[in-house]
A and B are shown apart, each in its own frame.
Chain A
């Protein structure tokens, strides 16, 4: 278990996608894709541009509805969920780290992190306290605004924000794509440390082989199929 709060560790796989199929404009992007990630484990998905990595991420987040298959997050199939339920479930069990952080520059790092908890209906004092602890754990200094942080610090703030609601699944979309080499390594270390420290499942979509190799398991999306590939850390 991690250092902050009591993260949920669901029975079995935290994330389980089965038989995913997605076709757009006559082009098959996902064909019978399966993906299982237990709590405390990390998976990297690599693949050439246009291979469908982002579509897969969209399906896992429930933003893209596959034509067939299921996506179970924390034990529930999100493909069949209505919008409101899906949003609630996503807010409670999933966290996302984006390529560019997507932080609000005027807010302090603590406020940026706490905001995600507040939007999910968390109590303010608990949200702010947890945000401060997460940032401290991830080594982000206090600042008057997020705009004053370095690229690496901003991305670690994004990781903290993704973790604030104690998600069962953490998804990262090219989390190091906008960083230089040394910062990339630093952020990647932080990110791949998350499943061990906080006990959630991590899926990282990346172009970067160096980053992908740090994952417990590395998968490649090619020809609409997700295939296991050698080189994962575990």
Chain B
């Protein structure tokens, strides 16, 4: 009997909460905010699940295909020869496993149906696509099949099993292997190039934290009426259980709807198939997600529970409402004024200050000062916009006296009286712009060597190529054959470091045509050349090949004539100074020389490959960070709409009685949209200024104005939506107003 009564009471309280939520001012905005909070938190937690599912899948499949070399299993019969090698396409490295089965029954790697014959390859779909994009489909010979998903670390992995031609195999360092799969095997593929899951987990916080912020904002939205309701329930003897059911009635439906929507993308991928993440290009494995289906389910449950818990915890139970005294308000205005004055000073100090310190001696201090400066600017920037809005507000109100624009009068006076409110309104977008620019800057940084390599690549480009050889693996005959096959008009110079003399020196040796192609003297005896006065290509080549930048000697002669017949380095040039065909020369080296014995590329390319990988990793930070920042801005924008609706309730009686609904659109334009757009413009400029000392094109650090403009566009669109929504909600709320004072 007692239980039935209790459940009846619960139902009753639930219903009261639900209808109170619908009727309360800004109830719909709160419902949308709660829905979005549930959605994004579920999406964030699903992403955490997807991250673990993907990494687990990658490690499991990588282990299942790991090469079992006979060295580790001396008792077993070798069934194939293998080399786990690398290649590069689209500026990014990938694994290539060169295999030569020894027996007809040699075990196949996972995802492969038949062994490729010599000169044939089985490649992953990702690698095939990348080769097609580069127009190099025949790079590894005839492609006879694709590796299935079960043989790939991830569906988008770029990897291949290549059975080399006999010419490529001759002299290559093959090692006997007994098969694939098992612990302690040789791992290859994506696992060599991806960052550990901790790094990505950190990046995911960029989405999770704003989602929590949104949940907090949604929980506190329209709190005045709810706090009052809760106080009444408490005063009537209602316990926390009663308050819980009231809160559930109001918040549970939108939160649950949000979590269902948030769980849909993960569930859809798990059910339908692999999906390519937009912009980042990573392919998410449906099988991995299916394996972690319980995690996806749990993320929805956890997100709903977390938002509802916040809703229950983050409301006052009466008696604790803060009353702001006039003195406190004045103090708040004083702080804002100080912050507004400090902001430009901080911008100048951040832009110029750290640069005054010696970068060698105070590298860390420079970084710390800069970061502190950026943080301080972030905090004070909204105050500038708020005080500017307050000053403009006074003028607008005075102008309204002349023009009779009621919206100007109301918004102007409001902005002048409450700069703190304006600061809150604009804080989100102002911070979002600066944070987006800083995320983009830090994610585009290369290492120092890669930066120099980039600079060299820009200066030299493909006008001079570097061929690096392993003399122990390349015979004189094989190299002669390569030199013979060089396209017409391409000359070769041997670059040798000669340690014999008192100081190490670099000797460039080759035929006169080759030496003259880079404006070097042609003499029978070695002659010293001042690097500073040479062709810039030569200066850079010495820098990248020799131990001393200015110790260059040149001599006419055969490239194969030296202490070791085959030099470790060859320089390829053309007398015409035109760009050399890098891809064609790479293929020539691949086809004519033993696997892994030589490589040809532009100067500094090897360093840049590592940097490109770092950039690819950095893209994840942008991929997750930018939506995170937009989410944060959305949270604050929703809070703004809620604040506007509360403010506009004061105008409701007047607007209803005079039938003026345009007042809300005008007031919202001046008190929401205009400050938001001003904040976007100001923070755009401040972001550009703050980026200036960090920018260094040689180190790959440049502020992407395109991205910043894009972010500004998104935030401006969001501001327009908030303006329209705020005004519309206020109009609707005003329509419900009735003059029932008591």
Contact = CB atoms under 8 A, between A and B. Distances in A.
Contacts of B654: 102, 104, 115-116, 119, 161
A177 B742 contact: yes
A173 B741 CA distance: 7
A169 to B, nearest CB: 12
Contacts of A161: 654
Nearest to B406: A118
Given A90-B659, A115-B654, A118-B404, A106 B417 contact: yes
Interface stretch (A15-23, A40-48, A68-76, A123-131): A123-131
Given A104-B651, A106-B413, A119 B739 contact: no
Nearest to B414: A106
Contacts of B551: none
B662 to A, nearest CB: 9
Contact of A102 (B397, B410, B653): B653
A145 B653 CA distance: 19
A57 B739 CA distance: 8
A233 interface: no
B650 to A, nearest CB: 6
Contact of B741 (A99, A119, A120): A99
B356 interface: no
Interface stretch (A58-66, A182-190, A209-217): A58-66
B329 to A, nearest CB: 11
Interface residues of B, number: 31
Contact of A63 (B414, B663, B738): B738
B660 A119 contact: yes
A91 B651 CA distance: 15
Nearest to A108: B413
Contact of A124 (B397, B402, B739): B402
A64 B410 CA distance: 28
Interface in A77-92: 84, 86-88, 90-91
A174 interface: yes
Nearest to A124: B404
B401 A128 contact: yes
Contacts of B410: 104, 107, 115
A88 B414 contact: no
A111 B399 CA distance: 13
Interface in B609-642: none
A100 B741 contact: yes
Contacts of B7: none
A10 interface: no
B404 A174 contact: no
A204 B86 CA distance: 91
A96 interface: yes
A57 B401 CA distance: 33
Contacts of B402: 124
B409 A98 contact: no
Place the interface of chain A in its size category. Answer: 35 or more
Interface string A182-214: 000000000000000000000000000000000
Contacts of B663: 119
A94 B657 contact: yes
A197 B707 CA distance: 66
| Interface of B, helix, strand, loop or mixed by DSSP | helix
Contacts of B660: 91, 119-120
B655 interface: yes
Contacts of A128: 401
B403 interface: yes
A122 interface: yes
A103 to B, nearest CB: 8
Residue with the highest number of chain A CB atoms closer than 10 Å, among B403, B416, B654, B663: B654
A63 B741 CA distance: 14
Contacts of B740: 54, 58, 173
Contacts of A94: 657
B118 to A, nearest CB: 85
B361 interface: no
B741 A177 contact: yes
A173 B404 contact: no
Contacts of A123: 404
A183 B151 CA distance: 87
B653 A96 contact: yes
Among A57, A84, A100, A106, residue most surrounded by chain B Cβ atoms (within 10 Å): A106
B203 interface: no
Contacts of A124: 400-404
Name the residue among B414, B417, B655, B657 with the largest chain A CB count within 10 angstroms.
Answer: B657
A155 to B, nearest CB: 12
A95 B658 CA distance: 9
Contacts of B742: 49, 99, 174, 177
B409 A111 contact: yes
B106 interface: no
B656 interface: yes
A87 B731 CA distance: 14
B101 to A, nearest CB: 84
Contacts of A99: 741-742
A98 B739 contact: yes
24 contacts: A54-B738, A54-B739, A54-B740, A57-B739, A58-B738, A86-B659, A90-B659, A94-B657, A96-B657, A99-B742, A100-B741, A104-B410, A104-B413, A104-B651, A104-B654, A105-B417, A115-B654, A118-B409, A119-B655, A124-B400, A124-B402, A161-B654, A174-B742, A177-B741
Given A54-B739, A111-B401, A116-B654, 11 more contacts: A84-B659, A91-B659, A98-B741, A102-B650, A104-B410, A105-B650, A111-B397, A118-B404, A123-B404, A128-B401, A174-B741
Interface of A: 49, 54, 57-58, 61, 63-64, 84, 86-88, 90-91, 94-96, 98-100, 102, 104-107, 111, 115-116, 118-120, 122-124, 127-128, 145, 161, 173-174, 177
Interface of B: 397, 400-406, 409-410, 413-414, 416-418, 650-651, 653-660, 663, 738-742
Ranked 5 nearest A-B pairs via Cβ = A87-B659, A99-B741, A124-B404, A119-B658, A106-B417
